Structure 1
Amino acid sequence: MRVLVAGGTGLLGAALVRRLRASGHTVLLAVRASGGQEGGALTLALDYTALPAHATLVEQLRGVDAVVNAVGIFQEAGKQTFDAVHVKGPMALFRAAVDAGVRHIVQVSALGAEPASAQAFLASKGRADAQALALPASVRVVRPSLVFAPEGASTRQFARLAAWPITPLPGDGRQRIQPIHIDDVATLLERLVEAEEAPSVIAAVGPRALELRDYLALFKRAFGLRSRFLAVPRALLHRLLPWARRMGGGPADADALAMLEAGNVADATPLRSLLGHLPRDPGDFFDDASVRKLAATRRTAGYLALMRWTLAIMWLATAWVSLFVYPRSESHALLARLGLQGGWADLALWSGAVLDALLGLALLAIRHRQLIYRLQLMLVLAYTVLISAGLPEFWEHPFGPLLKNVPLLAMILALHALDRPDGPDSR
């Protein structure tokens, strides 16, 4: 079969692409960049926020047997809105697929998706599901529960939480979930691509429901840790979540917490019929390879957090020392050698200190920090060039005030590359 996968570079999409190619199917990836090849697969340029004309899309889909939409976002950003990415984009693709004679359309949705949902994410997925099912075509809507994948953002967040000596829980941690392994979801999607007959809507859930605290206990057991938890009142948790997310350790946002509170379970019988066996039990998720990958990611995230905090403290301490500790007369003497005197020297001293303080605070308060790291790189380079020009002897100083900028720049570059909102492996 010739299968087009939108979102084929994401978590679920990539797992499906690997299975399809291993089974001998021809895979066409729909990507936002221009067409060509990616990872050995042919690509089709398709941006849900800037779609081509319907006729153009129909021609591009000629000869395709199945279309899978695995595109999804959890937070809106610019043109990447829930309506554009979850509803308008996929529906334009599906309508073109119908007119191009595509045999099967598979829509990856989410458990709990309903057009009337109070959560914007679930509401948008629900609208797309309803519109897709109304099409005159073979449409299969898959609604996954919480997906376990060592490389997945949510799984890494659970791992980081479980690694705490005492893990905080929303309320009493009795929220019911039904996690499913990513391999089972990928197998299900492959079956739906191939099957001539299949349910129009299917819940992709694990074989049994369990409480959130029990799921986290499985992580702790895999890491060799004792199951110690701390119940956090829901009202307090809602206040702390925004700050925890910015600090890089928060498990969810308000919408995700609301979805968790609503429950995330369903009947696994239809899934078992399609797979031909029960999906993997949560107790069997943690094989040696998965535990090693999660442990490595957890350690990396910890080291990145340590680097980020120490960098923030450095900027804040530098601002304090510049303004209130180091003798003002000596600062003026150094600035005079750079050609700054009087009011200009005071302006340079205060503006530099304020900028240092803002960078330090930004590291602690802003979740998407790539721009902050780029500003730091430019500032450190500027400081280095100015001091090298006016005070070159600092390169020969025994305490190495300028030499230390070299590893500092390397550390900021590493943070820029790895310190992502959802973990070091996210892109």
Structure 2
Amino acid sequence: MRQALFFCLLLATVARAKPTKTDLRSQIQPTVFAITMVMIHDVVNPPAASRFYTYCLLGAHEIAARNQKTIVAPTQLLRGLKPIEIGRKEPYDSQIAALYCILETGKLLLPSGYMLEEEETKLIDQLKKQKYSEQLIRSSVAVAQTVAKQVVAYAADDNYRNLSARQRYRPGKSDSTWYPTPPGYMEGIEPHWRTIRPMLIDSCSQFKPAPPVSFSKDTSSAFYRLTYQVYQVGNTLTDEQRMIASFWDCNPFAINTSGHMSIGFKKISPGGHWMSIVSLAAEKAQLSFEKAIMVHSLASITLMDAFISCWDEKYRSNRIRPETVINKYINVRWQPLLQTPPFPEYTSGHSVISTAVAEVLTYLLGDNFAFIDTTETLFELPERSFPSFRKAAEEAAISRLYGGIHYLDAIENGQAQGRAVGVFIINKLKKAGVEPVL
């Protein structure tokens, strides 16, 4: 009897020591962050960053859906995505495969993707320490590589590789047209981003916003009032407003000048900031591995479509930035708190993408989902607390006025544009059978 009891206890101990599928969910955040760090290294611009996040997570989403029937697969959501073949008959671990697929896809797509080889090695070493068999790891890695290649083939047809052959942006001669701004006077980023294949929205111009307030030099005009508002707010910022602007700056490459010397600082992109929020939220909600992967994937898809919609308008209206107008007509020495990004002003990109992804996250995780955003602690900024995703998006939007880089109509109409994108995507998800995860 004692021997039987000892044997049962021994089996129970072994069972507890054996890694379970939930053990690897804590690896999602560092794996996605590894992608972020390579993009920071490469100074990937905001629209392109959303694209890389989307494809890096696409294969992982597909693998997770194969293992969890309640997860709707990307092939059921995205147009033009052919059925993805796993290509393995022997047993494999879907969570290992999903994590490795994120890294493998990034390795194949990102300019400095080779840097992710080290992350792949670290992941395998960690799995071995957790007593996963080498055969299971090899099989899982093979699945990840097979899926990653198919995702990369799908990405190759989205028109991205043709952008470099398109004509570069040339500033117009009109007083109302965007012109490169100091200190770098960088040329317009991604003027042809509207030609990228959307993921869930029907077309780049599907959510064309209300037209911007017309440019005018008249001091009694609506445009002058908008401009003077930026100037006045910039001159009377509170400490809290300065902190909000800095927290949501998200400029991948800011230039600081000192005399004849210029120093570049690399930071996270707007999409990267929201992907970090997704990781924080998934961890707080204690989502299963499969649900966490799906939420990351759907958030990245939303960001990509929101950027396509926003960039379509930016280079259509091609509106001048506040800094240029203020320096020319109000105060030649005035400078915004934040460095003006190198692309047209209307609509506000952060307003569009933040509002869109906040709507989708609210659908998936619920309204009033409070969280602490620690994203910017990497850049020596304190954490901030938010009672909901929508409130965070509202702060991200108004931060652009505090930063001196957007007029108020670009912010408010950008929020309306982002909300329309988000609602459309939510309806698509509902029709496909994607339900809230909480």
Which has the larger share of strand? 1
Q: Scaled by the length of structure 2, what TM-score is found?
A: 0.25
Q: Scaled by the length of structure 1, what TM-score is found?
A: 0.25
Q: Which has the higher contact order (CA 8 A, sep 6+)?
A: 2
Higher-Rg structure is 1
